[in-house]
Each structure stands twice: as structure tokens, then as C-alpha cells.
Amino acid sequence: MDTSTELANDLAGGLDREIATLKAKAVDYNARHRVIENCTWPQGVKMAVNFTADFDTMLLRRLLNEPPSQLAKGEFGGRVGIWRLIELFDSHDIKATIFTPGRICELYPQAVKAAAKSGHEIADHMWEHQVPKDPELERDHLRKTIAAIEKLVGRRPIGTRSSHARQLLLEEGYIYTSEDSLDHRPNYTGDPDGARPLLNLPFHYAIDDAMFFSFAWLNSENSAQRMMDPDHVEEIWWQAFLQQYQKGGYLNVCMHPFVSGRALRIAMLDRLITRMKTLPGVWFPTCEQVARHILDAHPAH
């Protein structure tokens, strides 16, 4: 072979290797995830709607040394917002899921207890709103949160909104995550061979109050602030609900007490829920109820 042919073969081999590398990654990722294609609901239910609240009251901002006005903005969630959300859900006989950082159990114990007493699920939202990189510290944080929640409400959390490691969550008895938007339908994540599956109840940033109503959300530029009004967001969320209702699907509405707990937004949520309830067969359970139903009706294996 002459030199130019060798060079051409090398280049072709390089491209083949690049394709193989990309393909291996994609195949591995795809093999780890399985979407529940035709999720059915309990008798008489056409659609499940999970109202979920991330009860973080800007906790992370305190730990990041952000200024007092930022912390005060978050305090609204613990002082005012969470109570209004509990009242709103109770008035509609909705059981919600409150994803609660462990340290919030120290800051707002009365609110966490009141939510549990009303039948809302208290689930994990990390110890201090972040997952440590060190695996041992991560386990320590997860266990601290379990202990803090169990101490307040008398039972261990079995769901989380976090990126805690799947293996760790399974070891600690967790049955679901509600963390990401791999699909708009509930889905399983496991090993490539399907082992150690964990159910995920997806939420999407488009159905997250903080994306519409928050200023200075994690270092965003001032020109990118989210200053929308409730009517605008009500319509976006209503359209998401309606589309899934027609499909007999699933919707997870993510709220933050310091955002959605403002009076103007509680009024909007009240309208939205009232609208949803005009349609027959809408189920408003906790994430735990949805998870237990799916694990029974649509197990991973």
C-alpha cells in the first residue's frame, strides 16, 4: 500500500471508531431507560395529576451566602406559602407531595407536620438542597434527611426529587424519584440489563413555577428574568393538562412555596384546579400513590 492509501484507511478507521464510541454510549443510555408505553390507571381514573411542592425556601441560597433579600424571599415560603398550599390542596381534597430538604425539618417543623397531618406525602429533597460528590457524604446526607423526616412525621420518605444515586436510594428503601423529563410518561431507570430498576415520575421545567416567576434563578442574567403573570402560566399549564387528559396520561405540577404561595398565584392555582376538576376521571393522588399503583400494575419486569 502506498502512503496515501494508508492515510485514507487511518482516517476511515478513525471515523468508524468515533461512530462506535457514540453508538456505544447511546445504546448504553437507551438500555438503562424504559418508558411505560401504555400506563393504565385504577378503575374510573382517566388521568393522574401530581401536585408537588419543593419546600426549599431558598435554603441553598443561604448556604451559598446570598444576601438577606434573597433569604427573605425564601422565608416567605416557610412563613406564608407552604401554609397556603396546604390550605389550597385541602380545600380541593387533593393529596400532594412535599419534597422537603432535611434541614427544612429544622427550620419549619410545624409546617412539615401540618402537611403530613393533612395526608400529604413528605418526600426527600436532599439534606441541604444539593447532592455531595463524595459517596460516603452523600449517604450521610440521605440518611440525615430520612431521620429528620421520620422524626417529624413518623414515617420514612420513600420518594425523592434529587439526583441521589439509584443504588443508594434502593438500599435505603426508596421506590421512586420525581426528577427529570426522560419522557412525559412514567419510566424506569436500571442497569443496562434491566437490573435494579427505579421508577421515575417525570416533571418538566415547563410545568415548574420557578421558571416563570423567579428573579435571579441560579445566576441567570437580568435580561433573562422571569416576570410573567399568572394568567399566562395558567394557560400554559392548562394546555399541558388538556393534552394529557385526552391521552389518559400523567402530569406533574412542580411548585415552590415561596413562588406559588404568593396570593396572586394561589388564586391562579385555585382556578386551574377547579377547571381540571370539571372533567371526569382526574385523579389527584400523592406521588407515592401513583408509584405504588404503577409498581403493581406496570412492574419493571
Partner 1 sequence: MPWKDRYTISDERTLDDSEVTWPEGKRCCFRIVVDLSPVCGPEGIKSADLATPEAFYGMNGGLAALRAVLDNHRLKATFAVPAVMADIHAGTIRALADEGHEIAAHGFKHEDVSLLARDEEQSRLKRTTEILAKVAGRRPEGWFSLARPGDKFAGGAVSPHTIDLLLEDGYAYFGNGLADDLPHWWVSDFATRRAILALPYYYHFDDQFFLLFPRKGTGLENPDALFRNWKAELDAQYKRGRQFSMVLHPHAIAWPNRLHMLERFLDHARGLPDLWHATSAQSARHWVTTFPAATYLKLEPSIWRDYPGSLS
Residue number, 129 or 166, with CB nearest to partner 1: 129
Choosing from 35, 107, 175, 211, the residue that interacts with partner 1 (CB under 8 A) is 107
How far is 82 from 98, CA to CA, in rounded Å?
A: 9
What one-character DSSP code corresponds to residue 205?
G
Entry field: residues in the chain:
301
Which residue from 121, 124, 128, 209 is in contact with partner 1, where contact means CB under 8 A?
Answer: 128
The 222-251 contact track toward partner 1, x by CB under 8 A, reads xx-x-xxxxxx-------------------
Q: Is 262 a residue that touches partner 1 (CB under 8 A)?
A: yes
Using CB under 8 A, pick the residue from 11, 147, 264, 297 that binds partner 1. Answer: 264
Provide, rounded to whole angstroms, the least separation between the CB of residue 276 and partner 1: 19
Nearest to 64 by CA among 154, 129, 142: 129
Closer by beta carbon to partner 1, 84 or else 293: 84
Cβ nearer to partner 1, comparing 71 with 165: 71
Min dist. Cβ of residue 195 to partner 1 (A): 30
Is residue 68 involved in binding partner 1 (CB under 8 A)?
yes
Q: State the binding string over 142-171 for partner 1 (x if CB under 8 A, else -).
A: --x---------------------------
Distance, CA of 168 to CA of 296 (rounded, Å) = 22
Residue 238 to residue 183: CA distance in whole angstroms: 19
Q: Which is nearer to partner 1, 32 or 79 (CB)?
A: 79
Q: How far separated are the first and last CA of the chain, in Å rounded?
A: 54
Count of residues that interact with partner 1, criterion CB under 8 A: 49
Q: Which of 152, 89, 167 is nearest to 116 (CA)?
A: 152
Contacts of 261 (CB under 8 A, 6+ apart): 76, 77, 80, 81, 82, 83, 84, 85
Q: Which is nearer to partner 1, 77 or 249 (CB)?
A: 77
Answer yes or no whether residue 79 interacts with partner 1 by CB under 8 A: yes
Residues whose CB falls within 8 Å of the CB of residue 212, separated by 6 or more in sequence, listed in order: 226, 228, 232, 233, 236
133 binds partner 1 (CB under 8 A): no
Which 3 state secondary structure label does DSSP give 63?
Answer: helix
Least Å distance, CB 205 to partner 1, is 20
Identify which of 79, 87, 22, 89 has the alpha carbon closest to the alpha carbon of residue 51: 89
Q: Is 256 in the site for partner 1 (CB under 8 A)?
A: no
- Map residue 69 onto helix, strand or coil: helix
Gyration radius of the chain's alpha carbons: 22
Residue 268 is a binding residue for partner 1 (CB under 8 A)? yes
Selected binder of partner 1 within 7, 22, 24, 263 (CB under 8 A): 263
As a whole number of angstroms, the distance between CA 274 and CA 125 comes to 28
Nearer to partner 1, 269 or 291 (CB): 269
115 binds partner 1 (CB under 8 A): no
Our CB check for partner 1 shows the closer of 45 and 216 to be 216
Q: How far apart are CA 225 and CA 78, in angstroms?
A: 23
Give me the residues that bind partner 1 (CB under 8 A), please. 62-63, 66-73, 75-76, 78-80, 83, 103, 106-111, 127-128, 130, 132, 137, 140-141, 144, 213, 215-216, 222-223, 225, 227-232, 262-264, 266-268
